[in-house]
């Protein structure tokens, strides 16, 4: 197996986000009503409610880019996730109720497409301006760092979404690399040096989507107790 490559964030992160969101759209368009009720890797969030969760994330991006911040950044694309430690599963009743309120799954998909595409356009405009900063979740980030957090969120949830959809497209490769780069920053170089997973396995195991087996525990040694890296 080849572990994910480290390195700086790629240029053109808004284009990466566009591809990541586009593959999510490809995944959900044309699904049946029954498909939207399939379980995902997120406990208590079937396909429909998980898409609502992603929709609200894209909506949050629109609000953030329309409300630029003047304060200095206090988080980057790595440290942002330290505010989301592993913990008890959150209440999913809100997204379930919203998903149920859509008359047909196709209406939800159309809403997702419109909002996600608008978020990508806002990201492109925001990252093209030097020094653009945004405020979200009580913190200030540079625009590119913020877009990287959106890429991670969508990429990880893409993997969550397709667990019961064998014909669905895989996540965007560059989105996976941005996600792995973020995990590298959270894990640290000492832990990184022992990791031998491929990129997708790294993402799934480092975020607690897949359990660690005996070989993993042997490979990670004392670092195993640090997983999952965030909730």
Domains, the chain, ranges and CATH? Answer: 13-187 (1.20.120.450)
Q: pLDDT of 11-60, one tens digit each?
A: 899 999 999 999 999 999 999 999 999 999 999 999 999 999 999 999 99
Query: For position 49, what pLDDT does the model report?
Result: 98
6 — pLDDT class (breaks 50, 70, 90): low
Torsion angle defined by CA atoms of residues 71, 76, 80 and 82, in that order, rounded to the nearest 10 degrees: -120
Q: pLDDT of 133-182, one tens digit each?
A: 999 999 999 999 999 999 999 999 999 999 999 999 999 999 999 999 99
Query: For position 130, what pLDDT does the model report?
Result: 87
Q: Which of 204, 157, 169 is nearest to 57 (CA)?
A: 157
At residue 157, what are phi and psi to the nearest 5 degrees? Answer: -70, -25
Burial of 129 (0-12, 13-18, 19+ CB in 10 A): exposed
Q: Are strands 133-136 and 139-142 parallel, antiparallel or unpaired?
A: antiparallel
Q: Is the dihedral angle over the CA atoms 175, 55, 40, 168 positive or is it negative?
A: negative
67, pLDDT greater than 60: yes
The count of other CB atoms within 10 Å of the CB of residue 114 is 12
Distance between CA 74 and CA 90 in Å, rounded? 26
7 — pLDDT class (breaks 50, 70, 90): low
Q: pTM for this one?
A: 0.95
Mean pLDDT of 213-222: 96
């Amino acid at each position: 197996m080849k572990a994910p490559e480290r390195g700086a964030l790629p240029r053109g992160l808004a284009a990466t986000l566009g591809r990541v969101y586009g593959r999510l759209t490809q995944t959900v368009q044309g699904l049946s009503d029954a498909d939207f009720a399939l379980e995902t890797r997120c406990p208590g969030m079937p396909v429909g409610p998980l898409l609502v969760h992603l929709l609200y994330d894209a909506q949050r991006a629109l609000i953030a880019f329309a409300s630029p911040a003047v304060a200095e950044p206090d988080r980057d694309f790595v440290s942002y996730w330290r505010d989301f430690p592993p913990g008890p599963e959150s209440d999913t009743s809100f997204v379930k109720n919203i998903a149920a309120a859509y008359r047909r799954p196709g209406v939800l998909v159309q809403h997702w497409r419109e909002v996600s595409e608008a978020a990508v356009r806002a990201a492109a405009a925001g990252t093209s301006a030097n020094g653009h900063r945004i405020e979200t979740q009580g913190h200030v980030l540079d625009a590119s760092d913020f877009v990287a957090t959106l890429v991670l969120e969508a990429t990880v949830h893409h993997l969550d979404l397709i667990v019961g959809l064998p014909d669905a497209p895989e996540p965007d490769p560059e989105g996976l690399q941005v996600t792995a780069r973020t995990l590298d920053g959270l894990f640290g170089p000492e832990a990184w040096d022992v990791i031998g997973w491929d990129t997708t396995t790294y993402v799934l195991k480092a975020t607690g989507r897949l359990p660690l087996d005996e070989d993993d525990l042997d490979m990670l040694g004392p670092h195993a107790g640090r997983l999952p890296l965030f909730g």
